[in-house]
């Protein structure tokens, strides 16, 4: 698929309600269940997504638009959520994520990006040269990866409960990655 | 997690709105995109889920409750959707799935299943003895597997568009299974 800005905005808008449909108002035990040591629960994922809204996607897009390749992006802390949101219930995290996402989309829409803006380049601290188009496409794919992750974590909650059907349910064998 | 009937109903109820949040009213090209030959698109998955509502989960639960291990379940046709729903738009499939799912949950709730009912056994044509609890847990996990699949198929639509970030986006490397 060719990247299309309005389609990408449409996808990014859907993520808060997709997360709501998957986990809001579910039993508490499902919020913290993960796939084993050093894997993430739904709670961990939503905290990580908030931290991304606040420190990653839009701040990086701003650096790219203002400084091009002259200023590398700040490294992103993939583990910040554990301290930042300790003790905050999942419902409050979902609210905060939805608010931050909506605000960020309003900001980016306000930039009225042209196709040539999307080709502008920035410097990722590890990956090197990237474009604004790639950054926005990555934002979309990153959301979808974490949605798939939450579905997988929830599914594995019934890993033993499915009995012999386990042989047909490949989601139960998909490693966390 | 121990299987819990009311939690399982809660999860099964969430699937139609999760699918809506992921794909309803999205651009047509995303409905039919798949992961390559013999893989499924969002459209294929929703058709398959409808066929499951109509011929698999509740019909099998009925056979189990009425005949126990004396009558094996009918084999399930995993490919029926391609002929049955040819030409039906995704929005109409989502409507049909939501209606069938709601009706099925009403039926199963009406059975007022006890813990000992959940232990009752039936005969799967390939897997052998299974319990009603396992059937219901499998219904839940099956939904979640297909939700993760749709998220993955959508993510792969931007596989090339993310540039160097591809190295960090494991969802793009997850094989269809």
Residues A33 and A90 sit within 8 Å (Cβ to Cβ) = no
Q: Read off the pLDDT of each residue in A55-68 and give the average, rounded to a whole number.
A: 98
Q: What is the pLDDT of residues B92-147, one digit of tens each?
A: 999 999 999 999 999 999 999 999 999 999 999 999 999 999 999 999 999 999 99
Determine the 3-state secondary structure of A160 from DSSP.
Answer: coil
Residues 6+ apart with CB under 8 A from B106: none
A111 pLDDT more than 80: yes
pLDDT at B176: 73
What are A121's strand-pairing partners?
A: A131
Looking at chain B, the whole-number percentage of residues with pLDDT higher than 70 is 99
Tell me the pLDDT tens digit for each residue of A5-31: 999 999 999 999 999 999 999 999 999
Q: What is the mean pLDDT of chain A?
A: 95
Residue with tokens 């959940």: B118
Burial class (CB in 10 A: 0-12, 13-18, 19+), B97: buried
Closest partner residue to B151 (CB to CB) among A147, A159, A165 is A147
Q: pLDDT band for A177, please (50, 70, 90 cuts).
A: low
A130 vs B contacts (CB less than 8 Å): 163-165
User: What is the model's pLDDT at position A106?
Assistant: 98
Q: Measured between CA atoms, how close is A44 to chain B, in angstroms?
A: 17
With a cut of 90, say whether residue B172 has pLDDT above it: yes
Site of tokens 């039936």: B122
Give whole-number Cα distances, B121 to A122, B70, B72, B104, in Å. 61, 10, 11, 20
Q: Does position A81 have pLDDT exceeding 90, yes or no?
A: no
Per-residue pLDDT tens over the stretch B88-102: 999 999 999 999 999
Chain B interface mutation, best of A24, A73, A151, highest count of B Cβ atoms under 10 Å: A151
In DSSP terms, which residues pair with A123 in a beta bridge?
A72, A129
- Contacts of residue B2 in chain A, CB cutoff 8 Å? 161
Q: What is the mean pLDDT of residues B164-169?
A: 96
Query: Residue A127: is its pLDDT beyond 60?
Result: yes
pLDDT value for A155:
97
CA distance, residue B23 to nearest chain A CA (Å): 9
Each residue's pLDDT tens digit, A88-102: 999 999 999 999 999
Is a pLDDT exceeding 70 seen at residue A34? yes
Asked if pLDDT for residue A1 goes beyond 70, the answer is yes
Nearest to B134 among A135, A161, A177 (CB): A161
pLDDT tens digits, one per residue of B28-80:
999 999 999 999 999 999 999 999 999 999 999 999 999 999 999 999 888 88
Phi and psi torsions of B71, nearest 5°? -135, 115
- Rounded Cα distance, A157 and B5, in Å: 14
pLDDT tens sequence across B8-23? 999 999 999 999 999 9
Strand, coil or helix: B74 = coil
The residues, any chain, with a CB within 8 Å of residue A135's CB and separated by 6 or more, are A57, A60, A61, A64, A122, B165
CA–CA distance, B23 with B33 (Å, rounded to integer): 12
Determine whether the interchain pair A164/B127 forms a contact, defined as Cβ–Cβ distance below 8 Å: yes
State the pLDDT at residue B25: 97
Return d(Cα A46, Cα A24) in angstroms, integer: 11
Q: What is the mean pLDDT of chain B?
A: 95
The answer to whether the CB atoms of B154 and A11 lie below 8 A apart is yes
Distance of alpha carbon A91 from alpha carbon A84, whole angstroms: 16
The stretch A77-85 carries a mean pLDDT of 87
* Confidence tier at B177 by pLDDT (50, 70, 90): low
């Amino acid at each position: 698929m060719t990247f299309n800005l309005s389609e990408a905005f449409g996808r990014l808008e859907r993520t808060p309600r997709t997360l709501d449909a998957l986990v809001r108002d579910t039993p508490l035990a499902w919020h913290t269940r993960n796939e084993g040591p050093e894997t993430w629960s739904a709670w961990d994922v939503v905290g990580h997504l908030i931290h991304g809204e606040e420190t990653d996607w839009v701040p990086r897009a701003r650096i790219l638009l203002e400084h091009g390749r002259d200023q590398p992006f700040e490294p992103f802390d993939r583990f910040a959520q554990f301290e930042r949101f300790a003790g905050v219930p999942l419902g409050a995290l979902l609210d905060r994520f939805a608010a931050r996402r909506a605000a960020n989309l309003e900001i980016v829409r306000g930039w009225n990006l042209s196709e040539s803006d999307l080709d502008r380049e920035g410097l990722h601290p590890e990956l090197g040269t990237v474009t604004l188009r790639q950054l926005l496409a990555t934002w979309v794919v990153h959301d979808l990866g974490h949605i798939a992750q939450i579905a997988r974590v929830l599914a594995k909650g019934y890993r033993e409960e499915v009995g012999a059907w386990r042989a047909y349910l490949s989601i139960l064998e998909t490693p966390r990655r």
